[in-house]
Structure formats: C-alpha cells, structure tokens
C-alpha cells in the first residue's frame, strides 16, 4: 500500500477507487484544484482500491436493492415483503459456497465479486426480457454495467495522464 503526505489533491486520485466509473469520476474531479486544509498540520493519504466507503456502500446497496426487486418479481404478492430477507440470505449463501472452494486462509474477494456480478448480469439479462415492471430495474443495472465497461476502456486510454497526476504528489 502506498501513502502520500501533505498532498490534498491525493484525496481524488483514481487509484483510491475500485470500479471504473468511480475512477473516472475521481480523475475528472482531480482536475479541479483542491484547497489545503488549514485545521491540521499534516495529512497522510493512503492508497487502497477498496478504501472508498461511499463507493463500496453504494455498490452494495445497489446490488441488494436490485436483487430484492428480482426476488420480489418471482414471489407471490403476499410474500413480496420477504424479498429483502431472501436477497440477503441468497447473497450470503452464494458468498459462502464460493468461499468454500479453495484455501481456507485465502482472500476470496475477487472470486466472490466475479460470481456475484456474473449472477446479477445473468439475472438482469433474464428480467430485462420480462414484461413486468422489473425490466426497468434490469435495464438500469445493465446500463450501469455497460457504462462501467466504457469507463474502464477510457481509463485505460488515460493511464498515462493518471500516472502523471499521481506522480505530482510523489506516489
């Protein structure tokens, strides 16, 4: 993990974010000047891809709400209230069963993410073709996935600019 001392612009470095849309937003935001804080003597900013709490919570809430909508769409009307509980339980079952595969001490974050997003993309593709109102949720999910892929391609094209931006603070 890298760290930078006394560089207020480091707060908006793309390397502090995990998903391409958040990286793209951080890169655009980093182009605007940041005033130094006057209420502290020194600032130490660390760089970890999974550090952005806003990004992580937004993604988890988005996945939870989307999966709750999908589960509510297949349940009978009187059982729709249980959809959030079933969605949370389903996520835990998927995460637990994927983690069982492989070493006990290994970090399964990447594998769990790939499986969960893969299942959500498959479910979204299925529900996008349904005549029910859940198709709008599915299409919005697929739209964000495509936008993230486009942002990933754009960030590949901007990698030299990102590197120069981060080298200004000595990372």
Please report, for the chain, the start and end positions of each structural domain, with discontinuous segments joined by +.
2-52+158-167, 59-154
Cβ(13)–Cβ(171) below 8 Å = yes
154: left (phi over 0), alpha (psi -120 to 50) or beta: alpha
As a whole number of angstroms, the distance between CA 123 and CA 70 comes to 8
pLDDT at 161 over 80: yes
What average pLDDT does the segment 110-127 reach?
A: 93
pLDDT tens digits, 86-116: 999 999 999 888 888 877 677 778 888 899 9
pLDDT at 1 over 60: no
pLDDT at 46 over 80: no
pLDDT at 75 over 90: yes
What average pLDDT does the segment 29-48 reach?
A: 68
Average pLDDT, the chain: 84
Cβ(48)–Cβ(1) below 8 Å = yes
pLDDT at 118 over 90: yes
| pLDDT at residue number 128 | 96
What average pLDDT does the segment 144-163 reach?
A: 91
What average pLDDT does the segment 116-130 reach?
A: 96
Provide the pLDDT confidence category of residue 39 given band limits of 50, 70 and 90: low
pLDDT at 124 over 60: yes
As a whole number of angstroms, the distance between CA 29 and CA 160 comes to 17
pLDDT at 38 over 70: no
Cβ(137)–Cβ(127) below 8 Å = yes
């Amino acid at each position: 993990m890298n760290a930078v001392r006394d560089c207020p612009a480091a707060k908006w470095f793309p390397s502090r974010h995990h998903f391409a849309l958040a990286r793209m937003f951080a890169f655009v935001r980093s182009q605007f000047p940041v005033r130094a804080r006057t209420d502290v003597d020194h600032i130490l900013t660390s760089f970890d891809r999974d550090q952005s709490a806003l990004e992580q919570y937004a993604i988890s809430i988005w996945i939870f709400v989307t999966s709750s909508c999908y589960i509510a769409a297949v349940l009978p009307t009187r059982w729709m209230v249980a959809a959030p509980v079933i969605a949370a339980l389903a996520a835990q079952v998927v995460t637990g069963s994927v983690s069982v595969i492989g070493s006990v001490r290994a970090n399964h974050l990447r594998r769990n993410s790939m499986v969960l997003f893969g299942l959500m993309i498959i479910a979204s593709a299925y529900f996008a073709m349904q005549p029910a109102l859940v198709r709008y949720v599915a299409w919005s999910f697929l739209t964000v996935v495509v936008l993230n892929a486009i942002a990933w391609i754009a960030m590949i094209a901007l990698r030299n600019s990102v590197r120069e931006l981060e080298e200004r603070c000595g990372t």
